[in-house]
Amino acid sequence: QNARNTFGYKRAEIIAAFLNSIALALICVFLIVEAAKRITDPQPINGNLMLTIAVIGLAANLLSAFLLNSGSKSSLNMKATYLHILSDALSSIAIIFGGILIDLYNWTLADPIVTVLVAVYIFYESIPIIRQTFRILMQGAPNLDYDQIKRDLLQIDGVFSVHHVHAWMIDENNLIFSAHVNMHDMKLSDAQPIYSEISKVLKEKYHMCHVTIQAETTRGENEDIIYDRGNDIP
């Protein structure tokens, strides 16, 4: 974090994951198109050379996938990178399988067919990452029960209305929350325990990393509505 980037640079990982997944999906489309050309116009293939290169590639990709596996569970960028390496590993397996069929039966169609199968699978796996990273970049709200959040906050002594709620994500692990809260007219020092309790509920139960509360004593214009980053939630 610094004066110019007060939320830090965590979005850089999301941008990288988004671009990585887009690139992977486009590569899959390209492979499917090229495989379709090979199916309609088969080319002679050296099965032995194909097998040798694929085995070497598979060993390297499996090692990389093993090293990245744990990080892929907590970071979208690592997950996208892991998927990229996994796609290479699956491609190597497919090439080995195709190379065996070509070597044993001279079935040249095996190569484009397994290429299509692997490309379709990787394309399918990349779509959720694209959707999730795009949603974060568009400041989409986290998947939370906002009605329950409102009920929880209204249980706090001194809070009698919650409205104008906004929630968004810096990355998949860092959630930001802001809201207007109506309270009785009181001194700031008396309101501090209420602020602390609101923050505690939001951070401990809903894992918010940053909470901003605006206290009001008058009725809000939309006091019965929680705003989900632009969408009204009754």
Q: What is the pLDDT of residue 231?
A: 46
What number is the average pLDDT over the span 179-207?
Answer: 91
Name all contacts of 72-76 with Cβ < 8 Å and 24+ positions apart. Answer: 74/173, 75/13, 75/17, 75/172, 76/13, 76/14, 76/17, 76/129, 76/132, 76/133, 76/136, 76/171, 76/172
Identify which has the larger pLDDT, 132 or 48. Answer: 132
Class of domain 11-137: mainly alpha
Res. 121: pLDDT tops 70: yes
Q: What is the pLDDT of residue 117?
A: 86
Lowest mean pLDDT among 50-59, 150-159, 180-189, 196-205: 50-59
CATH code of the domain made up of 146-233: 3.30.70.1350
Q: Which amino acid is at 191?
A: A
What is the rounded average pLDDT of the residues 16-40? 89
Mean model confidence pLDDT for the chain: 81
Tell me the per-residue pLDDT of 91-111, one tens digit each, with 9 for 90 and over: 788 778 777 877 777 777 877
Q: How confident is the model at residue 181 (pLDDT cuts 50, 70, 90)?
A: very high
Q: What pLDDT, on a 0 to 100 scale, did the predictor assign at position 202?
A: 95
Q: Which residue has the higher pLDDT, 74 or 61?
A: 61
- Residue 230, pLDDT above cutoff 70: no
* Residue 46 confidence (pLDDT): 64
Going from N- to C-terminal start, the domains of the chain cover 11-137, 146-233
Residue 3 scores a pLDDT above 90: no
With 0-12 / 13-18 / 19 or more C-beta atoms within 10 angstroms meaning exposed / middle / buried, residue 196 is exposed
